[in-house]
Chain A
Amino acid sequence: MSKLEIRSPLPGTFYRASSPETPPFKADGAAVSNGDVIGLIEVMKTFQEIPCDVSGQNIVFLVENEEPVMAGQVIAEVDP
């Protein structure tokens, strides 16, 4: 069974939480629903939310917190 991919719509720096003091939007292994925010992308000093466009179980992040990402890069995968 193939996994569902969640891609970054923009290039920039990926953040899993809204600030260093707050818990991540989604913990490793969490279930997600269409429209959930799974992280932020910092683009030129502004922050954009990354909404999830799929629903599934057991989210696995392929990008570390604060890592640079390219537009279209797969950030996380979930089981359908």
Chain B
Amino acid sequence: MTISSVLVANRGEIAVRIIKAAKALGIRTVQVYSAADADMLAVRLADEAINIGPPAPKKSYLNIEALIAAAKASGVDAVHPGYGFLSENGDFADAVEAAGMVFIGPSGDAIRLLGDKVAARSVAAKAGVPTVPGSDGRIDSLDDARAVVEKTGFPIMIKAAAGGGGRGIRIVLTVLELEQQFSQASAEAAAAFGNGGLYLEKVITRARHVEVQILGDGVNVVHCFERECSLQRRRQKVWEEAPATRLPADIREKLCASAVALARAVHYRGAGTVEYLYDEDAREFYFIEVNTRIQVEHPVTEMITGIDLVQEMFRVAGGAPLSVSQDDIKVRGHAIECRINAEDPSRGFMPAPGLIETLKIPESESVRFDTMLYQGYTVPPFYDSLLGKLIVWAETRALCLDRLRSALEGLTVTGVPTTIPLHLALVDDAQVRDANYHTRFLETWLDTTFAPPAQKSVEVA
């Protein structure tokens, strides 16, 4: 069945992105919104909009009942979950299908399987994908944990099986710390995720974060090469690139093949991302997790491959085979994405919602700004601080960095502080220009090197 109408079960910039892809395919769009989002850009762009409840996410964007009711009332034949919110909730996928509509993503079973970090680790291991040294699946006792660290050594991470996105992780350095933290971690995981299961993974120091974009139609799986997202603050990505500059060609080939093997093993349908840590010194990569949805940083892959990933999601969800074969997919040039957040780098990245007084976006064929903003829009305080993503493409990485600097200088957002000054400093940093970084680089750099300029921000009563 070809999809002819869709409910966008998300907000912000990704809702805008989904609507644009749908419109390009002639699909009717219905946008949901909370009481705090009635004037958001996606509501203005969509063919129809439906109020689904109060500002609090659990009463609106996380409310499965309200979303299914909205989908039924608007008569759509599909639901796109975007990222975050319910995008990786297998029960939501099942509820959409049970209501007779298409969930634009993998099946509820595939989401649950890959969303359970322990189960995903076993799927990866069975598909021949290297995993980070650690426990073989879930561990239930401190004795088992002690046995694991005897083999792996320290530092080691205690991770919640149901966690993800950097949440539910503790790093311990000694047996004593392991003993102190183990039961606390289990209790916390039970409270936060409704599941107290834990597993252990060795900390790979000086690792790079690389991830492979995959697309599947339930039968065939292709990869769209890799992205590198090593510049992170508090485990949140800040700056992403494609391809990964320092990845040797032979490793790239193995990495991408392993992601395809993993996705094939579960008959993957839709867009997904297989995340890895890459140890540059040892030339080894290790599986971390699978994200069963479109990723925030997907545009860098689109810029280097020319594939519209969100349109492809619509096609395969409608039952069509993949529109591209692996041989068709080639890397051309280099792309970098900077996340522009409503945060003040000079005040510890304190988030600051508020009125957008001016907005000027640089215009060029090789520059893209995926955003939820318009002049006069008031950014609400109830959701994350992402305002937009500045994505720049060029033939080489060096040219891309230069073009990125011009684009950042040409991007003006006033009314709220933003992370633009952070990116302007990064683009001229010698280590960043050499791609000489790892996942811990940015936090140290912020403490030792970065001198953020003060930004005008509105003082409130």
* Cβ < 8 Å to A, chain B residues 100-148: none
| Given known A-B contacts A43-B381, A45-B384, A68 and B56 have beta carbons under 8 A apart | yes
A66 contacts which chain B residues (CB < 8 A)?
56
| Given known A-B contacts A21-B191, A68-B56, A44 and B461 have beta carbons under 8 A apart | no
| Given known A-B contacts A11-B353, A44-B342, A44-B353, A71 and B460 have beta carbons under 8 A apart | yes
For the complex, what is the distance from the CA of A68 to the CA of B350, rounded to whole Å? 19
For the complex, what is the distance from the CA of A12 to the CA of B122, rounded to whole Å? 41
**Do A12 and B56 touch (CB < 8 A)?**
no
**Do B383 and A9 touch (CB < 8 A)?**
no
A contacts with B: majority SS: loop
Q: Is B36 an interface residue (CB 8 A)?
A: yes
**Do B351 and A43 touch (CB < 8 A)?**
yes
Q: Is B385 an interface residue (CB 8 A)?
A: yes
From A12, A44, A68, give the contact of B384 (CB < 8 A). Answer: A44
* Interface range, B side: 10 to 19
**Do B55 and A68 touch (CB < 8 A)?**
yes
A68 contacts which chain B residues (CB < 8 A)?
36, 54-56, 381-382
For the complex, what is the distance from the CA of A44 to the CA of B342, rounded to whole Å? 9
| Given known A-B contacts A44-B342, A68-B56, A11 and B381 have beta carbons under 8 A apart | yes
For the complex, what is the distance from the CA of A44 to the CA of B461, rounded to whole Å? 19
Contact string, B384-405, partner A, CB cutoff 8 A, digits 1/0? 1100000000000000000000
For the complex, what is the distance from the CA of A71 to the CA of B385, rounded to whole Å? 17
Q: How many residues of A are in contact with the other chain, CB < 8 A? A: 16
**Do B351 and A44 touch (CB < 8 A)?**
yes
For the complex, what is the distance from the CA of A68 to the CA of B383, rounded to whole Å? 12
For the complex, what is the distance from the CA of A10 to the CA of B56, rounded to whole Å? 16
Closest to B59 in A: A66
For the complex, what is the distance from the CA of A1 to the CA of B365, rounded to whole Å? 66
| Given known A-B contacts A43-B353, A44-B342, A66-B56, A12 and B381 have beta carbons under 8 A apart | yes
From B54, B383, B460, give the contact of A10 (CB < 8 A). Answer: B460
For the complex, what is the distance from the CA of A66 to the CA of B343, rounded to whole Å? 23
* Cβ < 8 Å to B, chain A residues 15-51: 21, 42-46
**Do B460 and A44 touch (CB < 8 A)?**
no
For the complex, what is the distance from the CA of A9 to the CA of B461, rounded to whole Å? 6
For the complex, what is the distance from the CA of A46 to the CA of B234, rounded to whole Å? 12
CB distance from B352 to the nearest CB of A (A): 8
From A13, A21, A43, give the contact of B55 (CB < 8 A). Answer: A13
| Given known A-B contacts A9-B461, A11-B353, A44 and B385 have beta carbons under 8 A apart | yes
CB distance from B191 to the nearest CB of A (A): 7
CB distance from B429 to the nearest CB of A (A): 26
For the complex, what is the distance from the CA of A7 to the CA of B461, rounded to whole Å? 8
Closest to A44 in B: B351
A7 contacts which chain B residues (CB < 8 A)?
461
CB distance from A54 to the nearest CB of B (A): 14
Closest to B354 in A: A11
| Given known A-B contacts A43-B353, A45-B384, A72 and B460 have beta carbons under 8 A apart | yes
10 pairs, A vs B, C-beta closer than 8 Å: A7-B461, A9-B460, A10-B460, A11-B381, A21-B191, A43-B351, A43-B353, A43-B381, A44-B383, A71-B460
Q: A44-B342, A44-B353, A72-B460 are in contact. List 14 more A-B contacts (CB 8 A).
A: A10-B460, A11-B380, A43-B351, A43-B353, A44-B351, A44-B382, A45-B351, A45-B383, A46-B350, A66-B56, A68-B54, A68-B55, A68-B382, A71-B460
